[in-house]
Amino acid sequence: MKYYLIVGEASGDLHASHLMAALKEQDPQAEFRFFGGDLMAAVGGTLVKHYKELAYMGFFPVLLHLRTIFANMKWCKNDIVAWHPDVVIMVDYPGFNLNIAKFLRARTQIPAFYYIAPKIWAWKEYRIKNIKRDITALFSILPFEVEFFENKHRYPIHYVGNPTVDEVADFQADNSESFVSFANENGLSDKPIIALLAGSRKQEIKDNLPRMLQAASRFPDYQLVLAAAPAISMEYYRRYTDGANVKILFGQTYRLLQQAEAALVTSGTATLETALFQVPQVVCYYSAMGKMFSFLRKHLIKVPFISLVNLIADREVVKELVFESMTVENMQIELGKLLFDPEYRQLMLNGYEDVSHRLGAVGAPRHAATEMVRMLKK
């Protein structure tokens, strides 16, 4: 069968690449064509547009690039019709993908499968109408989404497990290097590591990294290591790290987390990855538009937490310092507790075990692929 996939950022490229590999196991004749990235290209098929050409996030970047975004949407629709796949598989990226799904329903007979559901439980819940109308099947990776979609909105979904569980488990099974080996290879000292995960977008890095560096630098017995995002250049990072004693590593986030003592992490999948590696963390998210976001959070955003760890646990497992509360002093206090208060640290690690239990066992891409192929053959 022919599978057309649409991905809009690096995390989607990772998850989609594993889904594609699982689809090939279920369907050895599988053909792929996709908007995606290098990891998907490595699995095989035709990369027609790289996600780096699509990744405009935030109100003003989107506004400035509307012409390009609309052109990419039109190009994608025409390309799907010309190739005529058996299914279009959408991975997150709702602003773009829901528009494509609407087109598919109105103008074609091609089913739309959504892998990694849009996070409408947090924001833009009205999109449930579009999902019910345009999405043939939705495959969820967060356990609390079952309650939201099925019980609240009477829309049946498929919970397949979480692919991050698979990705971390696969890495840990194949990597058991020592701290000494990791440190020597990357020119690090023998001091324990504080990991910095400052986001994958330029605005996030600009807003968060300088404050994270200030807070973490107040622990001289530890070395700071920054996990760099693949789509961001070293030159961009150096705007905010010059003068700071920090090592910048590309493509080694999991290796870094495997060795870290504690971490400062912006919200997103990184908070879940950090938890699965059993690294105590402080979740930090600052924005220059913090007052506006605080208003939105109070009046429009429907969830009590911003981190996946706390959302999955349905309670505060990790401390969230968001907008006005993300000060250098607050980060320093929380980081100090994680490093020097064994009871505080252990309480968080116990919470991680609860999160892991709720996510379930490994096998998310395989479960999703099996169900997708079954539905398409049916």
Q: What is the pLDDT of residue 289?
A: 60
Which band of pLDDT confidence, cut at 50, 70 and 90, is reported for residue 254?
very high
Q: What is the C-alpha to C-alpha distance for residues 144 and 31, in angstroms, rounded to an integer?
A: 33
Question: Among 46-60, 97-111, 135-149, 240-254, which is the least confidently predicted range?
Answer: 46-60
pLDDT at residue 297 is higher than 90: no
Percentage of residues of the chain with pLDDT beyond 70: 92
Average pLDDT of the segment spanning 18-45: 97
Say how many Å lie between the first and final Cα of the chain, rounded. 13
| E strands present in 40-118 | 46-50, 87-91, 112-115
**Looking up tokens 């705007």, which residue turns up?**
239
Q: What is the pLDDT of residue 375?
A: 97
Q: What is the pLDDT of residue 263?
A: 98
Average pLDDT of the segment spanning 325-340: 96
pLDDT at residue 192 is higher than 70: yes
**Which has more confidence, 108 or 242?**
108
Q: What is the pLDDT of residue 323?
A: 86
What's the whole-model pTM score?
A: 0.87
Average pLDDT of the segment spanning 173-188: 96
pLDDT at residue 86 is higher than 90: yes
Q: What is the pLDDT of residue 52?
A: 80
Average pLDDT of the segment spanning 321-330: 93
Q: What is the pLDDT of residue 295?
A: 53
| E strands present in the chain | 2-7, 31-36, 46-50, 87-91, 112-115, 137-140, 158-159, 193-197, 223-228, 246-250, 260-265, 281-285, 319-322
Q: What is the pLDDT of residue 60?
A: 44
Q: What is the pLDDT of residue 291?
A: 55
Q: Hey, how many other C-beta atoms are within 10 angstroms of the C-beta on 329?
A: 10
**Which has more confidence, 48 or 58?**
48
pLDDT at residue 19 is higher than 80: yes
Average pLDDT over the chain reads: 92
Burial of 41 (0-12, 13-18, 19+ CB in 10 A): middle
Q: What is the pLDDT of residues 124-135, one digit of tens each?
A: 899 999 999 999
Residue pair 373/27 in contact by the 8 Å Cβ criterion: yes
Q: What is the C-alpha to C-alpha distance for residues 173 and 171, in angstroms, rounded to an integer?
A: 5
Q: Which residues, other chains included, contact 174 with Cβ-Cβ below 8 Å and sequence gap of 6+?
A: none
Q: What is the pLDDT of residue 303?
A: 72
Structural domains in the chain plus CATH codes: 2-161+363-377 (3.40.50.2000), 167-359 (3.40.50.2000)
pLDDT at residue 321 is higher than 90: yes
